[in-house]
Amino acid sequence: MEDYECIRVPFSVAAEDKTVNNKDGNALLAFLQSMGSMPWLTYLLDNAITVKSFKDYRPASHMYDVSFHFYLDPKKATVYWIKYAQ
State the Cα–Cα distance between residues 63 and 65, nearest whole angstrom.
6
Three-state secondary structure of 7-52: EEEEEEEECCCHHHHCCCCCHHHHHHHHHCCCHHHHHHHHHCCEEE
pLDDT digits (tens, 9 = 90+) for 59-72: 998 888 888 999 99
Number of structural domains (the chain) is 1
pLDDT at 83 exceeding the cut of 70: yes
- pTM value > 0.85: no
Q: How many residues make up the chain in this entry?
A: 86
Percentage of the chain surpassing pLDDT 90? 40
Structural domain containing residue 26: 5-84
3-state secondary structure of 43: helix
